[in-house]
């Protein structure tokens, strides 16, 4: 049984990783999360009673807290997901992104290095630091056939992606300079259950149900490769347990879609699954689609070549975009109490789980 320290485990992807580890493995999870606005412990309610799950509220910028957690729980691996991740928020207030994504990653690396250096030889050899990043560090693709690979040069376009690119460089530098056994993964756009309603897919689902406009940037022709979050969680666990030290693995869903196609498909699914939920006077959900001014520095196309992780670690996504999106829409229809608590802010008052 491994002990895995997951930073940002109350976030969207982090909570999926925690749920996967508890539900599908015999390992123990130490969930370290600051509980910013995007941290939601109700996303972990199904595993909070497990004796293999422990929650620690702490900031990755707090070196003393990190030192205590490492000493207390003696993790065999770190999966680093804690990050500020919303592009629009990074444009409005980049300082938080520099602090968490750069300073926080540096602080975590140093705490990890100090802990790793004092481990017995066998434990030090098997220890892993897995840094979870994004395809946005690569900038955008202009050709219709190009794909991001593990060797694509970095060209970030937003404060968010620049801060994540910087954190990637720090992790690789700590591996090269100090020998810290690190791995890096870069993923495409995630979607699925428990997604905080500020990102495209949950915003469109919940706006449609409320009869509010469905705002689409520009012409909606931006292309993204969509990855179902539970597929991503499986891939991340495969990397931290079987990946080679110093390697980078791209994780993608093999599901490229224009943003406008995504919105239209959500509308079609709601027509099928929730026709009775339309607000009075609305004929079709797609009538709510509204085009708005594009945001600054908006990348046109992201697309991941995930061939390496398939060849070397045997991972492939289980969901197509159609099956994953149907599951996602149905989940939001079935879990109104979860997203209502997020929208009205009451989720921040709840503290579930095993808290120390």
Q: For residues 111 and 5, what is the distance between their CA atoms, to the nearest angstrom?
A: 13
What are the angstrom distances between the C-alpha of 332 and each of 273, 279, 338?
11, 17, 8
Q: Pick the catalytic residue: 27, 76, 84, 135?
A: 135
What are the angstrom distances between the C-alpha of 204 and each of 13, 82, 220, 250, 342?
19, 25, 13, 27, 15
150 is known as an active-site residue: no
User: 3-state DSSP call for residue 249?
Assistant: strand
198 is known as an active-site residue: no
The answer to whether 192 touches 334, Cβ cutoff 8 Å, is no
256 is known as an active-site residue: no
Judged on CB neighbours under 10 Å (0-12, 13-18, 19+), 277 is middle
Q: Pick the catalytic residue: 53, 160, 285, 347?
A: 160
Query: What's the number of CA atoms in the CB half-sphere (13 Å) around residue 285?
Result: 24
Q: Pick the catalytic residue: 76, 84, 136, 168?
A: 136
Please give the positions annotated as active site: 135-136, 160
């Amino acid at each position: 049984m491994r002990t895995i320290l997951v930073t940002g485990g109350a976030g969207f992807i982090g909570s999926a990783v925690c749920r996967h580890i508890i539900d599908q493995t015999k390992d123990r999870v130490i969930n370290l999360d600051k509980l910013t606005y995007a941290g939601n412990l109700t996303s972990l309610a199904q595993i909070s009673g497990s004796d293999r799950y422990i929650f620690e509220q702490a900031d990755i910028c707090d070196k003393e807290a990190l030192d205590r957690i490492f000493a207390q729980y003696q993790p065999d691996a770190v999966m680093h997901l804690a990050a500020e991740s919303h592009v629009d928020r990074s444009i409005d207030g980049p300082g938080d992104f520099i602090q968490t994504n750069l300073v926080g990653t540096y602080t975590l690396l140093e705490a990890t290095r100090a802990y790793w250096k004092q481990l017995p030889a066998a434990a030090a050899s098997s220890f892993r630091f897995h840094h979870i990043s994004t395809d946005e560090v690569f900038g955008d693709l202009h050709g219709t056939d190009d794909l991001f690979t593990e060797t694509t040069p970095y060209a970030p376009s937003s404060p968010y992606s620049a801060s994540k690119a910087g954190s990637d460089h720090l992790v690789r530098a700590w591996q090269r300079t100090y020998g810290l056994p690190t791995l890096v993964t870069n993923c495409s756009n995630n979607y699925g259950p428990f997604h905080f309603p500020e990102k495209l897919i949950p915003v469109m689902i919940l706006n449609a149900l409320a009869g509010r406009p469905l705002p689409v940037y520009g012409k909606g022709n931006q292309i993204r490769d969509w990855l179902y979050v539970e597929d991503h969680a499986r891939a991340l666990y495969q990397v931290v347990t079987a990946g080679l030290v110093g390697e980078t693995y791209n994780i993608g869903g093999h599901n490229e879609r224009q943003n406008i196609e995504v919105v239209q498909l959500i509308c079609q699914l709601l027509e099928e699954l929730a026709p009775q939920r339309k607000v009075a006077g609305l004929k079709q959900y797609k009538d709510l689609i509204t085009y708005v001014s594009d945001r600054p520095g908006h990348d046109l196309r992201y697309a991941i070549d995930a061939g390496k992780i398939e060849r070397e670690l045997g991972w492939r996504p289980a969901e197509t975009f159609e099956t994953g999106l149907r599951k996602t829409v149905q989940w939001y229809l079935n879990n109104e109490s979860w997203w209502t608590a997020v929208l009205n802010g009451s989720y921040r008052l709840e503290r579930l789980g095993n808290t120390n």
